[in-house]
Amino acid sequence: MHDGPDRSPPIRIAIRDLASDVASAIIRDLIASGRVAPGQLLPGEAALASRYAVSRGTLRAALRTLQDAQLVSVRNGVGAVVLPRPSTVTEGLDQLCSLETYTRDTGASIATADLTWTQEPADDEAARQLQVEPGALLSVAHRVKLIDGARAGWGIERTPADLVPFEALQAEYAGSIMDVLLARPELGITHADAEIAAVPLPAGIARRLGVRAGRPAQYLEQVMLLGDGRPAQWGRAWLLPEHFRFRIRRRTPLA
C-alpha cells in the first residue's frame, strides 16, 4: 500500500497510517468516482482487504473512518451502504473551522477591527494550555469581530512563536490564526477541543464592544492540537448571542 520512497523524512509529516491511506483509496476508487452509488453496498470486508492488500483489521479501521465521516453506514450481517451526500452544506461547531470560516459559510459578512499583534512570554495559564514552559515566547493576536458591521464579539488567540514565524503569521492572517495553522498541512492538525459556557460579559470586553457589562455572552475557548496531541493554538472568545448561534450535530457513539 505504501507507494513511493518514504525513507528519509526530515520534516514531520502529518500522520498517515495504512488505514488512512486505504480510506482515501476507497473514497477515490469507489465513492467519489460513483462506482458505488448512494444506497448501494460496498464490496465485503474480505474483498476490500484483499483488493488493497491489507489485513481485515486494517480494512475495518479504514471503514470506521468512513463511518465517522458519515460516508457509509455499516450494518451487521448486511454490509456497508454508501450514504447520500447531504444536499445543503451545513457545518456546525463539531466541524473544525474558524469562526470566520463558519460565519462566512452562513452567508453573513464578517470582518475584523482593532486587530493587535504582540509577542509575549507565556503566563502560567497560557503555559498550561499550550503545554510550554512558563515564559516561552508566544505570538498573540486579539481583535473585535464585526458581523455585518456590528461589533459582535472579541477574541484572543495564542500560538507558540516557534511554530510559525511571526511575520508569516501576520502575512497569512485573514481574521484567524486557526485558519493559518489549518492551511499548513505539515502541522498535521486533526482536531480541537472546545469548551463553551454562558457568562456575564466582562467589563473590559463590554467596553471594546460598546455594550453594557454583565449581559449574557457565549464564551468559547478552544485548544487546537497537532497530530501528536501537542497543543498548537489557544483561543478564547466572548460573543454576543444575538449575532452568534451555534449548531452541533451529536452522533451516537460506538457506531
Give me the residues that bind its own copies (CB under 8 A), please: 15, 23-24, 27, 65-66, 68-69, 71, 73, 75-76, 90-97, 182, 189-200, 215-219, 222, 228-229, 241, 245-255
Q: Which does 35 bind (CB under 5 to 8 A by kind): DNA, its own copies, none?
A: none
Query: Under a CB-based contact definition with an 8 Å cutoff, are residues 98 and 194 in contact?
Result: no
How far apart are the C-alpha atoms of 47 and 32, rounded to whole Å?
A: 19
How far apart are the C-alpha atoms of 7 and 113, rounded to whole Å?
A: 47
Contact region for DNA (CB under 7 A) — 38-46, 100-108, 187-195, 217-225? 38-46
Residue number, 13 or 199, with CB nearest to DNA: 13
Residue number, 37 or 89, with CB nearest to its own copies: 89
How far apart are the C-alpha atoms of 236 and 87, rounded to whole Å?
A: 33
Binding test (CB under 7 A) with DNA, winner from 26, 80, 82, 141? 80
Q: Which does 90 bind (CB under 5 to 8 A by kind): DNA, its own copies, none?
A: its own copies
- Cα distances from 255 to residues 22, 84, 232, 237, in angstroms, run 19, 18, 29, 33
The one-letter amino acid code at 193 reads: D
Query: Under a CB-based contact definition with an 8 Å cutoff, are residues 42 and 36 in contact?
Result: yes
Instruction: Provide the mask over 60-79, with x wherever binding to DNA is found by CB under 7 A and - wherever it is not.
Output: xx-x----------xxxxxx
- Cα distances from 132 to residues 121, 122, 123, 142, 178, in angstroms, run 10, 8, 10, 20, 18
Residue number, 1 or 115, with CB nearest to DNA: 1
Residue number, 7 or 245, with CB nearest to its own copies: 245
Q: Which does 3 bind (CB under 5 to 8 A by kind): its own copies, DNA, none?
A: none
According to the binding rule CB under 7 A, does residue 186 interact with DNA?
no
Binding test (CB under 7 A) with DNA, winner from 28, 35, 38, 53? 53
Query: Under a CB-based contact definition with an 8 Å cutoff, are residues 12 and 185 in contact?
Result: no
According to the binding rule CB under 7 A, does residue 57 interact with DNA?
yes
Residue number, 74 or 111, with CB nearest to its own copies: 74
* Phi, psi of 199, deg, nearest 5: -135, 160
Largest CA distance in the chain: 65
Pull the grid cell for residue 46.
474480505
Residues contributing to the site for DNA (CB under 7 A): 1, 15, 17-19, 42, 44-47, 53-58, 60-61, 63, 74-80
